[in-house]
Chains A and B, each alone.
Chain A
Amino acid sequence: MLNQVLQLALSGVAIGSVYGLIALGFVLVYKATEIINFSQGELMMLGAFAGFTFVSLLGLPYWVSFILSIAFMFLIGVLLDLIVLRRILGHSAFSIIMVTIGFGYFMRGIVSMIPAWGTDTYNLPTPFSGSVLRFGGLALSGEYLSVIVMTIIICVILFCFFKWSRVGVAMQASSQNQLAAYYMGIPVRRVNTLTWGICAAAATFAGILLAPITFVHSNMGFVGLKAFPAAVLGGFGSLPGAIAGGIIIGLIESFSGFYLPEGIKDISAYVVLLIVLVIKPNGLFGERLTKKV
């Protein structure tokens, strides 16, 4: 009984880290540009396809491909900003959200049209595949362990980046008030370009780690919609909150899938999200800022 609960908790944490990892991407963009990037899932999908291309089609070693795909997607992110987002800098959040939705559609369509990718499902072989970690009666597969470890690492890196680095602070400043940031001498445009590059790189990170779990296909970006509750639960502006939100969602799904009737598992995350939003409109760890009139 206790073992069962522990196993459920463990798999909940593992799935939760997956959500947390994607949610990190949302939070990153939101913190730096105050935009909800609806194409995060699709960027992740594109990153996974890049990884798949390097590993399976070109036959490069896993870690080399990992770095190459991240570099490639960083460029894609920078290009997105240079070609599109820079033109609508300063517009209402709503228009920018619509643009990211447009990106999502565009990328999903394009990927399904590229000959070697198409609409098929692919597996991405990794060094962790097949290994299972056991302690006591508990089991955790290597893929999930890699996700948990990587999520923690990237979270710490990003947290330190926003807390202490000059660029990180500049990013936060330009998200809170673009005009004031300009006055303070922050090159808002360049900061935003960098943000989108990092955002796409983070999405790739998530995509490649998720590839062995969800497989690579043109619709894998829909997991991104599942990561929304995680990001919101933690409060959109908080990096540790995203991880915590992800783990909470993972635990809820894991337990409700086991103890509650079928079908509740898939919506439990959204039910909890609605309840939390009604009680705490800024999420569990959201910043509380009020405006003085």
Chain B
Amino acid sequence: MRFIFKTDYDQDIKLFKHAGAKFWYAVLLAVAIAAPAVLGKYYISQLSFICIYSIAGVGLMLLSGYAGQISIGHAAFLAVGGYTEAIAVKMGLPFPLSLILSFIVAGLIGIIIGLPAIRIKGIYLAIATLAFNFILEEVLVRWSSVTGGNNGLMLDHAKLFGVAFKSTDSFYYLSLAILVIVIVGVLNLLRSFTGRSFVAIRDSQISAQSMGVDLAKYKTMAFGLSAGITGIAGSLYAYKIRFISPEQFGVMVSIELLMMIVIGGIGSLHGAVFGAIFFISLPELISLVKNYLPEAIANQAGLQPTIFGFILICVVIFQPEGIYGWWIKIRSYFEMFPFYRKATFKRTKTFMKSDRLS
């Protein structure tokens, strides 16, 4: 069992809590880098998708998991990022700049959408973002001179200093690099004053305000940053698929992103990554299991949403901290062996209080 002796206040906000963590993250990174040498093209392609969805998940997690503002419209920011990238590249902007541009454009739109968040709370905000998603989807369809309407836009491979990321492996490395940059950036943000203000707002707006947190400023900031990060994911997504059209960014995608971070574990960046892994590997698992199922069930299109919905319900009931919470439990079982008790993670009884009164 590991005890961390605190001798310094800075220890509380260290990126790595102890040397072991540093070691294991280094191992993880090494495995991620070595993966293309072992796995086939198809799996590497799926791994890039995991990276892309993780970035989007980190973006949404920052807003919903840390700042406590639910958004059911994040696919819209994905779309903004993707379209900005496609249009910027068409106009001749080189790649890293266009990625930064999509971060900025998505972030600005996020700030605009976040402005009502100063006044709107909880569920009304969630529905406002839902409305925004619908509006943006329709705008993308109708503004065909720029977005190509329902025909969508085609993209070439991403090019960095004249070198195109043509192969599956190189694109995987690109997405992995951006994912690592985003995660480190968000981790640093979260241990700063800004990040801790987000958490304070999530836990209680009134107490955050009493402690001197400017609600309006930090809420819009959370929206802007979250939208920007999701915009980056959108750009990468556009490069990965190399074709974008409005129906790829519908409300269902927004809901799926939300499901993804809840299943992964809300309120932790690990959760966003776990959620993305789950989200990408579930269809694979289903197609593996299909061979053992009776014909009548196996070939149904509805199988995937059914399983997805079922897992979501189970996660919320039995494991509200998601896959990450599960991982923590398993880890502490081994760390504390043989003293682990089920009651360690027992939830306290809570009673719902009205949101209308806050």
Interface residues of A (CB under 8 A from B): 34, 36, 84, 87-99, 101-113, 115, 119, 175-179, 182, 218, 225, 228-229, 232, 236-237, 262-263, 266-267, 270-271, 273-274, 277-278, 281-283, 287, 289-291, 293
| Number of residue pairs A-B, CB distance < 8 angstroms | 174
Name B's interface SS. helix
Which of A88, A101, A110, A176 meets B306, CB within 8 Å?
A: A110
Q: Which residues 247-299 in B have Cβ within 8 Å of A in the complex? A: 251, 255, 258-259, 262, 266, 296-297
Question: Which B residues are in CB contact (< 8 Å) with A178?
Answer: 351-353
1/0 contact string of B122-147 vs chain A (CB within 8 Å): 11101110111011001101100000
Question: Which A residues are in CB contact (< 8 Å) with B300?
Answer: 112-113
- Say whether B317 faces chain A, with CB atoms less than 8 Å apart: yes
Question: Which B residues are in CB contact (< 8 Å) with A113?
Answer: 297, 300, 302-303, 306
Question: Which A residues are in CB contact (< 8 Å) with B2?
Answer: none
Question: Which B residues are in CB contact (< 8 Å) with A102?
Answer: 259, 308-313, 316
User: Cβ of B306 and Cβ of A277 under 8 Å apart?
Assistant: no
Question: Which B residues are in CB contact (< 8 Å) with A218?
Answer: 302
User: Cβ of A104 and Cβ of B138 under 8 Å apart?
Assistant: no
User: Cβ of B353 and Cβ of A98 under 8 Å apart?
Assistant: no
Question: Which B residues are in CB contact (< 8 Å) with A229?
Answer: 127, 131
- Say whether B185 faces chain A, with CB atoms less than 8 Å apart: no
User: Cβ of A274 and Cβ of B309 under 8 Å apart?
Assistant: no
Q: Closest CB-CB distance, A278 to chain B, in whole Å?
A: 5
- Say whether B167 faces chain A, with CB atoms less than 8 Å apart: no
Sort A-B residue pairs by CB-CB distance and give the 7 closest, nearest first: A109-B306, A105-B309, A106-B309, A112-B302, A102-B312, A270-B131, A109-B302
Interchain residue pairs with CB less than 8 A apart (12): A95-B316, A97-B70, A98-B259, A105-B312, A106-B309, A106-B310, A109-B306, A113-B302, A178-B353, A182-B351, A281-B124, A291-B357
- Of all chain B residues, the one with the shortest Cβ separation from A42 is B309
User: Cβ of A282 and Cβ of B310 under 8 Å apart?
Assistant: no
User: Cβ of A274 and Cβ of B316 under 8 Å apart?
Assistant: no
Question: Which B residues are in CB contact (< 8 Å) with A111?
Answer: 302
Question: Which A residues are in CB contact (< 8 Å) with B313?
Answer: 84, 99, 102-103, 106
Given contacts A176-B357, A236-B123, 4 further A-B contacts (CB under 8 A): A115-B296, A175-B354, A266-B138, A277-B124
A112 to B306, CA, bound (A): 10
A106 to B303, CA, bound (A): 9
Question: Which B residues are in CB contact (< 8 Å) with A95?
Answer: 262, 316, 320
- Of all chain B residues, the one with the shortest Cβ separation from A293 is B206
Which of B115, B255, B354 meets A101, CB within 8 Å?
A: B255
- Say whether B342 faces chain A, with CB atoms less than 8 Å apart: no
- Say whether B358 faces chain A, with CB atoms less than 8 Å apart: yes
User: Cβ of A179 and Cβ of B351 under 8 Å apart?
Assistant: yes
Question: Which A residues are in CB contact (< 8 Å) with B349?
Answer: 90
A88 to B311, CA, bound (A): 15
Question: Which B residues are in CB contact (< 8 Å) with A34?
Answer: 352, 354-356
Question: Which A residues are in CB contact (< 8 Å) with B126?
Answer: 36, 97
